A = this chain, B = another copy of it.
Amino acid sequence: MAGKRKVANLLGLAVLSYLSQQPMHPYALARVLREHGDDRSIKFSHGSLYMVVGQLVRAGFVAGQETGRAGQRPEHTVYALTPAGRAELGDWLRELVEEPRHEYPAFVSALSLITALPPAEAVELLRARLRLLAGARADVAAIIEDSRAREVPGLFLIEEEYRLDQLDTEIAFVERLISRISDPAPEWAGGWAEYHESRQN
């Protein structure tokens, strides 16, 4: 739909979304992003936030309004969404919800190169991964339970539920992979073990 966004960083989308609720200064944006746990879904740091706000201003999606001051604290610019910014927010979100993107998770890269490791070692590492995955799963489950206990509507937990589903799928995949490597059909493994035996690393 849109060829290329003037601002590509997804942090910019989050900023547009929060500014559509009410004008804010950057520090307040950082605070609400963290409070809502959006830092788990969208990567950001102090530096990247100021950078992306600058990009949004240059693109005409947000504009600095008043320059506030509370007590002797430093001056701060409050930013508000422009009409173009509101349009961009809608268009961008629609694109992300509708169109799956080809992505490059690190584990996919690792899988595509795993034959560079001897199979016995791969199995050991995959078992270790399984333990770490269990930990990650427990963390996500705890976040969900905690929110439910605080009566947060389920709607605001869908991204964590999505993660949970993907984690469960990965766990099942890794378990199956371990058993396929441990007890390999010859036409499946294609000489993996033999290759590493002949040049003992």
Name A residues whose Cβ lies closer than 8 Å to a Cβ of B: 10, 13-14, 17, 20, 38, 40-43, 89-90, 93-94, 96-117, 121-122, 125-126, 128-129, 132-133, 136, 151, 153-156, 158-159, 161-163, 165-166, 168-170, 172-173, 177, 180, 185, 187-192, 201
Contact = CB atoms under 8 A, between A and B. Distances in A.
A117 B98 contact: no
A188 B108 contact: no
A121 B97 CA distance: 10
Given A100-B136, A105-B105, 5 more contacts: A10-B104, A93-B110, A97-B107, A155-B190, A156-B190
B116 A89 contact: yes
B10 A153 contact: no
A192 B155 contact: yes
A150 B41 CA distance: 40
B158 A111 contact: yes
Contacts of A114: 93, 97, 158
B89 A42 contact: no
A201 B20 CA distance: 12
B113 A17 contact: yes
Contacts of A42: 104, 109, 112
A133 B102 CA distance: 11
A104 to B, nearest CB: 5
Nearest to A201: B90
A190 B117 contact: no
